[in-house]
């Protein structure tokens, strides 16, 4: 028997800055009627500036997932989508006054804490589910990333992270119906390699990044003058290195927090299928590009 759809019990407002744009944003996540799914509205553009959270509208996947429908564009939606799906929300209206969702602490935890405090409202329509009846396989030849989905009675994920990094190593993450999303996935923050930071700044990305919303992985020893330059970029007095190979701005919640964040991202990107799926997902070195490509494939299968 299918579960009924669920929505939020009330509205929740979050304020912060966009990770890449650096713009201040006010975002309110609201209950929505059954059968409407998750929709975004850019209130700064008017009440009709709406984008449905569907893979059809993905236009960019560099360092985040961007949706675009006509003149309406919203970036870095994956953490909120992950929180909604992870907590069991089917229908929500998300109102924003800027083109990017706030990064907050780089995880899904602020959303989960807010939504979980009040519980969800059950609705009167069965939840939409799609059974994977034949294996799906997709490989990105440019990156070597692969995702396969096999028929199964329930949704599960086996995810492998391998950046050829002596700091991260190979991280293997499992998720199924027994996993406590709120405790084991939602707190896991986004991460970046130290050697990528200056490149990202130069390419007009991570304008809203700071040392409170990202784990920074340091593969090689860093000279003091480079650390000082990074401190200036992030407008902090100083940064240092931990023996484990991370900047000392944050402490890991889990030894495999970076792998768990990749799972968080996948759950968010798969929300763009527009339905829950029953299938076993096997993901190797996944990212937003391949996540959303597979979401589009499954969505096309579902629409046949």
Q: Where are the domains of the chain?
A: 4-127
- What is the per-residue pLDDT across 223-246, written as a single tens digit (0 to 9) for each? 888 888 777 777 778 888 888 899
Tell me the pTM: 0.94
> pLDDT confidence of 51, banded at 50, 70, 90?
very high
- What is the per-residue pLDDT across 129-177, written as a single tens digit (0 to 9) for each? 999 999 999 999 999 999 999 999 999 999 999 999 999 999 999 999 9
What percent of the chain is modeled with pLDDT above 90?
77
As beta bridge partners, residue 29 has 12, 94
pLDDT at 56: 97
- 1-24 burial: b if 16+ Cβ within 10 Å, else e: eeeebbbbeeebebebbbbbbbee
Does the domain at 4-127 match CATH 3.30.230.20? Answer given as: yes
Told to judge if 288 belongs to the known catalytic residues of this protein, a careful annotator would answer yes
């Amino acid at each position: 028997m299918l579960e009924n759809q669920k929505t939020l019990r009330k509205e929740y407002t979050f304020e912060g800055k966009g990770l890449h744009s650096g713009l201040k944003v006010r975002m309110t996540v609201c209950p929505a009627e059954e059968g409407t799914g998750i929709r975004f509205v850019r209130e700064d553009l008017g009440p009709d500036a709406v984008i449905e959270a569907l893979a059809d509208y993905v236009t960019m996947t560099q360092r985040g997932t961007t949706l675009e429908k006509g003149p309406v564009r919203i970036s870095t939606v994956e953490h909120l989508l992950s929180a909604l799906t992870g907590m069991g929300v089917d229908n929500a209206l998300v109102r924003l006054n800027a083109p990017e969702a706030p990064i907050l602490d780089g995880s899904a935890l602020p959303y989960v804490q807010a939504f979980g405090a009040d519980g969800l409202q059950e609705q009167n329509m069965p939840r939409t589910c799609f059974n994977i009846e034949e294996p799906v396989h997709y490989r990105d030849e440019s990156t070597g990333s692969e995702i396969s989905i096999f028929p199964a009675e329930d949704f599960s994920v086996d995810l492998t992270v391998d950046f050829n990094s002596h700091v991260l190593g190979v991280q293997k993450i499992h998720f199924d119906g027994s996993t406590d999303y709120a405790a084991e996935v939602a707190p896991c923050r986004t991460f970046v390699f130290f050697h990528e930071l200056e490149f990202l700044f130069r390419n007009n990305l991570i304008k809203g990044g700071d040392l409170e919303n990202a784990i920074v992985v340091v593969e090689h020893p860093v000279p003091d003058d480079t650390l000082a330059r990074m401190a200036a970029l992030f407008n902090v007095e100083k940064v240092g290195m931990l023996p484990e190979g991370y900047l000392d701005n944050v402490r890991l919640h889990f030894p495999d927090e970076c792998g768990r964040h990749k799972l968080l991202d996948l759950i968010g990107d798969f929300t763009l299928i527009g339905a829950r799926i029953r299938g076993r997902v096997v993901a190797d070195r996944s990212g937003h590009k391949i996540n959303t490509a597979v979401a589009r494939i499954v969505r096309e299968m579902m629409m046949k």
